[in-house]
Structures are given as structure tokens and as C-alpha cells.
Structure 1
Amino acid sequence: MLLSIPREELAHRQSKFFSIIDEKQIECAILFSVTDIFYLTGFHFHPTERPIGLVIDPAKQVHLFVPALEHEHAEEFALVDYVHSYPEYPGLRHPMEYFKDVLLESGFEGKVVGYDALGYGSSMGYRGPAVSEFLSAKEFVSLKGVIEELRFIKSAAEIELIKESCRWGNLAHRLLQKYSKAGLSEIEITSKASNEATMAMIETLGPEYKPHGYTAMAIFRGQIGEMSAFPHAVTQNIVLKKGDNLVTGAAACVWGYHSELERTMFVEDVSEEQLKYFQFMYEAQEVAFRHIKPGMPTSSVEEAVQAYFKENNITHLTQHHTGHAIGLLGHEAPFFDLGDHTIMQPGMVFTVEPGIYVRGLGGFRHSDTVLVTENGMEMLTYYPRDLEFMICR
């Protein structure tokens, strides 16, 4: 199996993007999105205070603008025509001064310029001007969301990478369940399971494996016992005890591609009340699966799940929509949400995770990664979902 996106596919993505900007009568473009730069060029980097940008000139040549410490890295791995760099940030001369030079030399002056953001942004101390402050363009036209929409439908290569992610997420979760015992802390359990799964993955896949993100990971995220009633709790270093609800998660990154596997489990025993809400959650996920069909709006899935919750008088115990797309980001658009009417198409990949949260008792949420097909959906995650498999002993 190829554990990366081939350069031919990267070139095809660039061509599709060029066609879109031509249709919009945009002559050149500037992109600052880390994810979209990776999607178009295959260059994976860690954004810091040092700005990085992608430039498409009027001749459709691709330029990558990076700090000097990334220059050789970019030349080695990025599918671009030119790499430009600057010494350092903030430097004696601001990086945007160098960026201005690149834009002027590339013929941006007086052109219709597309952009995803008018300037680089970072929470790590970066400060700098917007491009519109130093470039005299004929017009600036927003391209925000354009590449995100290109990412909606996954290619065959992308789907294979997501499936590979699912395989190792499955192992990580099996180990998590194996080590989930009363008297052990969540950090001890997740560290052991994640490390063991990661070692198995890198030994099996070999040197061709590049995570471009985290490796294999199994987590509780603090969703243990009563704390599991908070959908996005954070690690609390809780010690497991008999009867606890566990809302777990497991995944792996393969060349930047994600999957999502979550399960509701119980330590040694399950009460009648826990069983009641587990069954509601399980059936809500089944309802969602039955409504994932190409040609239908994503909102239709959420409508069906919400109707099920209303029918069973548990709407007040729900706190979020049924799912989201997944790929290069853990959460992507479109969403299984009442306000999202994107039409489902074959090749889209989603998580399906309706949740029920009962304060004082716990949370109940399975999450599976699924692929929209020509006739419905294909389950990509395959960890057991039934209650009999969910009790940790």
C-alpha cells in the first residue's frame, strides 16, 4: 500500500484549483492556510510565529514562501515551482517586506488577487500587516472555503489512508479496553495503550510510514464516570472504579489523514440506568446510519436523529450535532447538522456520533467513521458496538 498521496495527485489538485480561480476570473492567488498548503503541495510544517504562504502567480506557477529554517525542507518535499525564504521573524526587516518583493516580482501589482486570508495569523506572537496594506491590486477576492470544498470528496488514495488510520485506531482501542481496569489512572492506561499501538504500527508499516500528525492514540479525555457527561472534558488523571462510564477515543494519523473511533464502555458492571441510555444512544446511531445516502442533504441525517430523540423524550440530554466530515483535520465541513444542507456525495467521509449526556451518571457516545457510497454508506471503523463487548473486565 502507498502510505502517501502521490505527486501526480497533488498536481491534479493544483490543476483543479487553477480551473476554479480561472472561472472566478481571478488572476493570481495567496494562501496562508496550513491545511490547504499541505493539500496542494504535500509540504507538512509546524506553523509558528514565522509566516508561511503559498503564491499562485498569473502564469500559474506555484511559489512557496517560508522562513530560512524551512527552505531546504520545502525544496525537498513541496510540489512547487519556486521556494522563497526570509532570514527570521521579526528580523531587522519584517517577513512581509520580503513577501511584498515576491508578489511584485511575480506580477501581482494591479491584478485581481484571490486570498484565503489577507494576512498571516498566529497565536505565537506574530504581528504583521495585511497584504492589502502593501499591495496595490485591482481587486481582492476571497477564496475562503474553496479548497475546503475540494477536500469534501476524498480520492481513492485518501480513502485508503483513512482506512489505514482506522486499522491502527482499532488496535489502539483494543489495547485501551484491555488495560482499562479499576484502580488504574487514565494517564497510565492511555499512555500504555497508545505507546504499544504506535510501536506495532511503526514496526509493521516500516520507514515509509509518515504520520504528519500524532501516531496511534487511545484516550479517555477525562470522560470517566460522572465526568463523561461533559462531551469534551479534558484529562483529569482520574482513577477508574467499578461501574464507571467510559467514553473513549482512538485514532491514528497516516500521512496527515485522520479517522475517529469512540465507544461507551463500562468498568466491570453496567447498571439498569446506564443500560437504558446506552440503548438510546446505540439506536440513535443506527438511525443516522440508515439516513446516510448520496443525493440527500446532510441535514436530513440530523433531522432523523433529532426526531428519534424527541420521540423518546431525551432531546434535553443531547448537546451537539450528529457528526462531521473528517480527513486532513479531525473536524471538517460539512456537518450532520440542522443548519448544513450540503448534498451528500460518494467519496465523502464522516463521523457518526450522536451523544446523550446525563449529569450525575455519565455520557453515552459511540463514534464511527463512515464513507458515503453510491448506494448508501460503508463503515470504515469496525470495532464492536454491542453492549456485551463494552464491559471492561
Structure 2
Amino acid sequence: MSALTGIPAEETRARARGLMERLGGEVDAVVLFDDQYIQYYTAFAFIPTERPVALLIGADGERTLLVPRLEFEHARNHGHAETVESYREFPDARHPLLQFGDLLEARGLGAARIGIDQDGYPNVMGYWGPALSEVVPGAQLRRITRTVDRQMAIKSDLEVRIIRESCRWGARAHELLQAYTRPGVTETEVENRATAEATAEMTAALAPHYRGKNRWIQGALALYRGQIGRNGALPHALNVNAVFQAGDTLVTGAGAGLWGYLSELERTMFIGEPGPQQRRYFDLMMGAQDLAFSLLQPGARCSEVDGAVREYYRSNGLEGHWRHHTGHGLGQRIHESPFLDIGDDTVLEAGMVLSVEPGIYDADWGGFRHSDTVLITESGMERLTLYPRELEALILPA
């Protein structure tokens, strides 16, 4: 199998053309400000700052990037846009969005139908400026984010291959995290050691082609995020530099950033033999995840999957221990559309990649959550996360 070298120009070009085809002639052009959308259509990965970056996609799929002068060579040499334009600085003597308006007018789009993700550049790092609707007041603006999200949700074969590789290295980082966790050491020590060693292994194995290009995960990452003992009842806690103790229930997280993509692996583990209530919650959590797995197939609605899982919580007396929906899309972002939620009627399609992560949370006992990255296939679903789920494999020495 050939080495992974990222998303090629022909694929991002096809994405831009595919977006215009999906919009079916309802707009004359598209303007995007979201950095993840820009990366998806151009492969240009950058750090959003107060200096706006904008992408214009014409009716034929031709792409023009507007970037600050300091990003010009970066965008030209590492992105796939056919044209890269630059402005000097923000806010400068003439605001960058006004210059972008000049560009739109010069392209004959001053009174056009323009699809947008948002009406101007977002408030990042103190940015301020006019709305796009103020810059081109004669244009008809239409929000198209749902169309963009639906396109991003269906992964190409190459995207799936990159995510598989991310799963592999996320599992390696988690393996080291599990091996180094023991009473008396801190979560920070264990996280740093496991992440550093796994990242070194990954970059060496994938050299010389490895690139991260992911905003959310750098390298091969494994962590606890403070979900240790009772603090595990906070689903999105932060590192508290906890010291591991015998009897702790642990909730982990792992993944790897490769070529702009990531994956998600989470496990519930125990330091020492779990007691009856810990085992009960663990088994119930596994039952909820198994139920979700059984329902994932093309044609199923996200709302139906989450609805069935929520009914499982009700029937098992767990409503007070429910905190979040069953899962979400994965790809460039750690959370993407669609969402396994009763409010999302998206129909699952082959090529979608999602997390499956129903959790149980009890302030006295902590958190109980596995998360697996799965691929919707033509006949059902495939679990891309290859890491043990069973209780006996997740009990650590006390």
C-alpha cells in the first residue's frame, strides 16, 4: 500500500466542484470563512487569528483565497486554491473585508447570489469588522452550512484510510497510557509520557511523509482530562493533575492527528478490582453502546438511534445519569455533523464516520463511557477502533 501523503489537489478540486453541483445552480458563488471548511476545500491548514482568511468558490469550482500577507507563501505553497490574493495587515488603512468586497465586485459578484457559512469573519482574537452583507449590500446571501456539512460527512476512501491510521496510533497511545497508570503517579505524568512516546513512534513509522495538519490533536495523544474518580462524572472535565489511587474509576481519551483528520477512542478503566456498583454501571454502559452499534446502518436515522438508546436509559432507571447524546460525526473536527441525537433526522449513509459514546455519570461513582470510531458501510457498520472493550482487559493493578 502506498504511503499516506495527505489529500491530493484533485480531491479538493473535486470537492469544490461537488459543492457547486450540490447547490444545483441556486447560487453563483460561495464564500467561506470557517477555517475547517477552508481546509476541506483547499487543503490549506492555518491558525485562525484576528487576520481574516476567506475562500471564494466560483460557479465552476475555481477557488480564490484571500489571506494576510504573512500567510501568502504558506497558502500558495501548501494549499490547492487556483488563486491566492493577499492584503497587508489587519486592520490596516483599509479593512481586509473591504478589500474582499473589492475582489467580489471585480469578479462581477456585487449583485450575485452568494452561499455563505456566516455573514463575515468571526470574532477571533479580537477581530472586528463589517459584515459581508455590508461589504456587498447588493448581493443575495444564503447560508449553506448544512450542505457543506453533509458533503463533509461522506468520507472518501482516502479519508477513511487516514482515519484508520489515526485509530491505529490512537490505540498505541492509549496502550501506553494504560501501561503507565498506577497508584501514586499523576495524570499529567502519565499523559505526557504516553503521548510523547506514541508520537515519537508514529512520526518515525510514517516518516518522511507524516504531517499533522489537525487543529484539535497534535501527534498521537492519550489523556484523562481529569476524569478520575468522582471527577469522572464531569463528561468534559479538564486535567486537575490528579494522583491515581486504588479503587479509582477512570475515563480516558485518545486519538491521533494525521493529514488533517483524527479519531476518537475512550475507555472506562479501573485501578484494582471494581466493586459491584462499578461493574453494574460498566455493564449498563456496554449495553447502551452495543444497542447503538446494532442500529447503525444505511437508511437509519440518527434520531432513531439516539431515541432507542434514551429508551434504554429509561427502562434501566438511568435517566438521572444521562448527560449527552449517543455520538457525533468525526473527521477533520473532533465533533462534526451528523449527530446521533433525537433532534437530528439525518439519514445515515455509507461513508459516514461517527463516534459512539453513550455514557453513565454518577457523582458518587464517577463516569462510565467508551467511545469507538465507526464507519457506516453498505451493509451496516465497521468499528474502526481496535482496542479491547471488555471489563477484564481494562482492570489495572492496584
> What TM-score comes out, normalization by structure 2 length?
0.96
Bigger mean CA offset, 110-119 vs 58-67: 58-67
Does structure 1 residue 286 correspond to structure 2 residue 290? yes
Alpha-carbon separation, structure 2, partners of 1:187 and 1:224:
12
Q: 1:351 aligns with which of 355, 360, 364?
A: 355
Structural mapping, 1:328-367, within 5 Å: 328-367=332-371
Q: Distance in 1 between matches of 2:264 and 2:276?
A: 28
Partner of 2:86: 85
Aligned equivalents of 2:269 and 2:61: distance in 1?
53
Matches within 5 A, 1:296-315: 296-315=300-319
Q: How many corresponding residue pairs?
A: 392
Classify the secondary structure of the residue corresponding to 2:12: helix
Paired letter, 1:197: A
Whichever residue aligns with residue 76 of structure 2, its letter is E
Q: 2:325 aligns with which of 321, 327, 341?
A: 321
Match of 1:276 among 280, 303, 310: 280
Equivalent-residue separation in structure 2 for 1:62 and 1:37 (angstroms): 10
User: Residue by residue, what CA displacement relative to the aligned partner does 1:299-323 show, whole Å, maximum 9, x if unpaired?
Assistant: 1211221222222111211111111
Q: Deviations over 1:61-107 (max 9, x none)?
A: 32100000000111112212211111111222211222122112211
The residue that corresponds to 2:232 in the other structure is 228
CA contact (8 A) 1:58 1:107 kept: no
| Change beyond 3 A, Cα 1:58–1:323 | closer
The whole-number CA distance in structure 2 between the counterparts of 1:59 and 1:295 is 32
Shift of 1:137: 2.5
**Cα RMSD (Å):** 1.2
The equivalent residue for 1:219 is 223
Q: Partners of 1:203 and 1:40 in 2: how far apart? A: 29
**What's the counterpart of residue 387 of structure 1?**
391
1:10 aligns to 2:12 (yes or no): yes
| Residue identity opposite 2:220 in structure 1 | A
Cα distance in 1 for residues equivalent to 2:221 and 2:357 = 19
2:153 alignment partner, SS class: coil
How far 1:372 sits from its partner (Å)?
0.7
CA distance in 2, matches of 1:366, 1:161: 22
Q: CA deviation at 1:24?
A: 4.1
Partner of 2:209: 208
Alignment partners' CA distance in 2, 1:57 and 1:327: 25
Q: Do 2:13 and 2:61's aligned partners in 1 also have CA atoms closer than 8 Å?
A: no
In the aligned structure 2, how far is the partner of 1:81 from the partner of 1:5? 16
Secondary structure at 2:385's aligned position in 1?
Answer: coil
Q: Is the 8 A contact 1:3 1:254 kept in 2?
A: no
1:291 counterpart letter in structure 2: L
1:32 counterpart letter in structure 2: F
Give the C-alpha shift of residue 138 in structure 1.
4.3
- Report the Cα offset of residue 29 of structure 1: 2.1
> d(CA) in 1 for partners of 2:171 and 2:39?
26
Q: Distance in 1 between matches of 2:115 and 2:365?
A: 51
Partner deviation per Cα, 1:281-300 (whole Å, 9 max, x = no partner) = 11111111111111111112
Residue of structure 2 equivalent to 1:175:
176
Give the drift of 1:59.
5.8
Name the stretch that deviates more: 224-233 or 51-60.
Answer: 51-60
Secondary structure of the equivalent of 1:141? Answer: strand
Native 8 Å contact 1:57 1:107 kept in 2 = no
**Which whole-Å CA distance do the structure 1 matches of 2:110 and 2:339 have between them?**
39
Question: Aligned pair in 2 of structure 1 residues 58, 257: CA closer, same or farther (>3 Å)?
Answer: closer
Which stretch shifts more, 333-342 or 96-105?
96-105
Matched, 1:161 2:162: yes
Letter matched to residue 246 of structure 1: L
1:192-224 Cα deviation digits (max 9, x unpaired): 000000000000000211111211110100000
Query: Corresponding residue for 2:253?
Result: 249
What amino acid maps onto 2:80 in structure 1?
Answer: L
Q: TM-score w.r.t. structure 1 length?
A: 0.97
Q: Which runs of 5+ in 2 are unaligned?
A: none
